[in-house]
Structure 1
Amino acid sequence: MKQSIQPQKLFVASCLALLVTSLSFGIRAGILNNLGVAFHLDMKELAIITSTAFWGFPLAVVIGGFIVDKIGMKNLLVAAFILHLAGILLTIFATGFWELFISTLFIGMANGTVEAACNPLVVSIFPENKTTKLNHFHLWFPGGIVIGTLISYYLGGQLGVSYKWLMATMLIPTFLYGYMFLRLKFPLTERVASGVSNTRMYKAIGSPLFIIIFILMAGTAITELYTGQWIEILMRNVVENSIIILAITAGVQTLGRAFAGPIVHRMSTTGVLLCSAILSAIGLYLMATVSGSMVFVAAIIFGMGVTYFWPCMLGFVSEYIPESGALGMNLVGGIGMFAVSIFTYFIGGHFDTIIAEKLPAGAAYDVYVKAAQGTTEAMAYAQAQSASGPEVLKIILIIPCILIVAFAILYFAMKGKKQVKLETQTA
């Protein structure tokens, strides 16, 4: 008997795949400092390793965007499974910088491949409710971050479990999504099913509206993802267990995306993006300036701000520029991660400069970075690192302030314009 397409099972498997992506983000954020200590890495070296995931992602998502219509979403997700498995195992058995670099690259490429296949898959199986279902799908990113940060906090921080075992927990959902996708039948992508030609697709990608969203995605991604990946270090001077700040912001995102439907339908996609930029700016400002219990209030506000950035940017493309197809969504997602990788690389070196300025006069920076735990130099480096976090947050704050202006213009420009629907061709 011919196998039929099962949207709900495909959606569940997609959510599991995204869960692995987010676990890699949350657990790595929690063990970042441990990796630095274990392998004697300075902030620039940690930044290089971390940024590798963010440029491995766009590399995979852009390549995936170009080939997904030809090879199918299923084949892409098999590749994602293999890359996730290789990246996790290589991290567990790493002995130095280069193993961590390559493993992070593999995980970044796996994460990008998941996005390259699953975003068009969700749009294809739920064509009448795209942005809401993209929000429901993407709630598993912050949801997984909550799980990952709690794993890092309780198992790693409280019980002292090795980072290797923390990484190993990711193997469970990896094998689950791999098994499910291998057994399920996949639909065609929406563009292919609608008979939209490559010429029309490339014309849509070259439109002014697409280019504007393409550029703005860089800012929304940096605001959300850079801050989240480095929050454990950036907020260490304010709260003892700063990884909990990431769990709070991710928890807010998870709840917000779960109830995205009524919000998106009432406010419009552009209205949601404008409000998101405003709340993100307020949250970042508060995190950089307040102390005590107000830090948790700041984290909640920031979490509310970044909740709808990623899914609504993709939803905007699928609703207003649907002829751009899977490639359009993947190019937008790719520039987001690529922007984070570039920002991470350059801010890492600047972070080192800020820390060096806060060390004792005449201190040799390399000596303090590589100092053994418990020594005077190591404690001085930790204090300088913590004191530098708020200054980096103030630099990031510039980005959502620019986004407020840009999304306000976009909101009024798009007011009253209807979504574009593609009709599926029948034989």
Structure 2
Amino acid sequence: MTAINRHRLFWLSVLALFTASMSASLRAAVASSLKAEWIDPIAPIAAGEMIGAALGSAFLGFSITVFVVSAFLDTIGIRRVLIGCGIAFLIGTTLIVGAGSMATGMTVYHLVWLGMLLSGIGWGFAEASINPLTARLYPEDTTHRLNVLHAWYPGGLIVGGLAGVFLASALPWQAIMALAYIPAIGVVLIASTTRFPAPPATAGSRAMKDMMLEVVRRPSFFIWFGAMFLTASSELAPGQWLDVALSNRVGMRGILLLVYVSALMFVFRHFAGRIAGRLSNPGLLWVSSLLAAIGLFMLSQAQSPASAILASTVWGLGVCAMWPTMLASVAERYPRGDAWALGLVGSAGALASFFVLPRLGEMFDQAKVELAGGPEAFTRLTGPALRAVEDAAASQSFARLAFVPLILLVVFGLIWLSDRRAGRRAEAVA
């Protein structure tokens, strides 16, 4: 019988996550062009909210999928889930790039929304499977391995973002979005030809009951659930909004800021597990929240490439370790929760972006109309006057986001203090 290739399984997990992040980066990179070509002509006043809702639908798909699949992962089988991941990205991408030739009017927007939803489902299939798989493959080094795995999420953002910028003059945005086909096909082929480990001996209805009891009997889990909602609001939603909101105001493509931040994440996540080992997970998350709050406020005030890069550096260093460190904390604190506990917090993170992105778009739309002097006045704006109004509206939307990580400072600060006191009591007893 062929032995389990732990190395191959880990890199398959990397490819699945890379596919999800490259797709997300491509969606962010083409969002402005998609909005201008298909949404602005049919709904100029609500275009910001609509593109925000379309981008957010991916997070809805992720949230539902990771919640359901995590509960039945071992029943379905990790191989099937990863194959489904690749197929969902293939179908979702096809709907996004082909909507204009398949329909007209608002139906085009609905197809785009559905395509992004399916892309989110593909991401959910990936996260629901690769996180518990990695935790099982490396039980002795979970925090470090999850951070290394999730370093490739920004890796995919870098590739997709650079493609969106440097191919924009040579290819239509639909062709750029279609690049997501390449890694998606790879996931399907490799998952189909790789041997996976057998489910744990406890898998089944009994295991599901144990996972649920672990969560229900330990209400502190819901603190982490709520914290994940806020950490994702600090990281994922602003990342999807950068290109739409900042490109005109700071004098450079916002997607390049996402690429730059992703590069910081890619490097830092290879070391975050070691830093958490010295500082503790709550300590690392507290420092991350402080930097994220400062960075988001700086982004709201940035008016030039230099100030935008500085603000992005602070924000990026703040958010880069949040997602994997949250997952590792839950895996270590609630081990019997297994895949379902990880799926629940991942679902919370995605739901945050689903709710926050349309809200960002709505705040942007409301601000631009108010600053212009009303809907009719806004529709008459053109050229520099239109850009000035939209730039001011974008600044307001980012400034309001800065309050989210401030709440996390209190949450992680209390957890950090509680853990330190518990550690001191344990040392005193010993």
Q: TM-score, normalising length from structure 1?
A: 0.91
Q: Bigger CA drift: 222-231 or 83-92?
A: 83-92
1:403 maps to which of 386, 394, 408: 408
How far does the alpha carbon of each residue in 1:241-280 deviate from its partner, in whole angstroms, 9 at most, with x for none? 2221111111111111122232121111111111110111
Residue 330 of structure 2 corresponds to residue 347 of structure 1 = no
Structure 1 position 346, deviation (Å): 2.6
Cα RMSD for the two superposed structures: 2.0
Once superposed, which parts of structure 1, at least 4 consecutive aligned residues long, lie more than 3 Å away? 188-199, 365-368, 376-383
- Give the aligned partner of residue 289 of structure 1: 301
1:120 and 2:125 are equivalent in the alignment:
no
The amino acid across from 1:154 in the alignment is F
Q: Is the 8 A contact 2:369 2:378 kept in 1?
A: no
Query: Which residue of 72, 81, 84 maps to 1:67?
Result: 72
Mark the runs of 5 or more structure 1 residues left unpaired by the alignment.
369-375, 419-427
Where does residue 8 of structure 2 map in the other structure? 9
Amino acid at match of 1:100: V
Tell me the equivalent position of 1:24: 23
Q: Is the 1:69–1:192 contact (alpha carbons within 8 Å) kept by the matching residues of 2? A: no
Q: Could you tell me the TM-score, scaled by structure 2's length? A: 0.90
What's the CA shift string for 1:378-420, capped at 9, x where partnerless? Answer: 65434322221111111100100110111000111123768xx
Residues 218 and 243 of structure 1, relative CA distance in 2, 3 Å threshold: same
Identity across the alignment (%) = 28
User: Where in structure 2 are the equivalents of 1:23-42 lying within 5 Å?
Assistant: 23-41=22-40, 42=47
Specify the alignment match of 2:104 in structure 1: none
- Which blocks of at least 5 consecutive residues in structure 2 are unaligned? 41-46, 101-107, 424-430
**Residue in structure 1 matching 2:164, options 122, 139, 152:** 152
Question: What's 1:423 paired with?
Answer: none
* Alpha-carbon spacing, 1:187–1:325, altered in 2? closer, same or farther (3 Å): same
Q: How many residues align?
A: 407
Aligned runs of 1:191-270 on 2, under 5 Å?
192=202, 197-206=207-216, 207-236=218-247, 237-270=249-282
Matched residues in 2 for 1:102 and 1:411: separation? 41
How far does the alpha carbon of each residue in 1:63-115 deviate from its partner, in whole angstroms, 9 at most, with x for none?
Answer: 11111021221111111111111011222211121210111111011101110
Distance 1:233 1:19 in 2: 23
Alignment of 1:328 with 2:341, yes or no, is yes
Distance in 1 (CA, whole Å) between partners of 2:379 and 2:309 is 35
Distance 1:295 1:345, change over 3 A: closer
Which residue in the other structure is 1:301 paired with?
314
Flag the structure with higher helix content. 2
Kindly state the Cα deviation for residue 195 of structure 1 after the two structures are TM-superposed: 11
Alpha carbons 2:82, 2:191 under 8 Å: kept? yes
CA distance in 2, matches of 1:104, 1:44: 15
> Does the 8 A contact of 1:190 with 1:325 survive in 2?
no
Alignment correspondent of 2:426: none
Determine if contact 1:196/1:323 at 8 Å carries over to the other structure: no
For residues 208 and 154 of structure 2, what CA distance do their matches in structure 1 show? Answer: 34
Residue in structure 2 matched with residue 173 of structure 1 by the alignment: 183
Q: Secondary structure at the match of 2:35?
A: helix
- Describe the SS at the equivalent of 1:208: coil
Distance in 1 of aligned mates of 2:201 and 2:341:
11
Post-superposition Cα deviations, 1:195-224, rounded to whole Å, max 9, x if no partner, equal 974333212112122111001100000110
SS at match of 2:250: coil
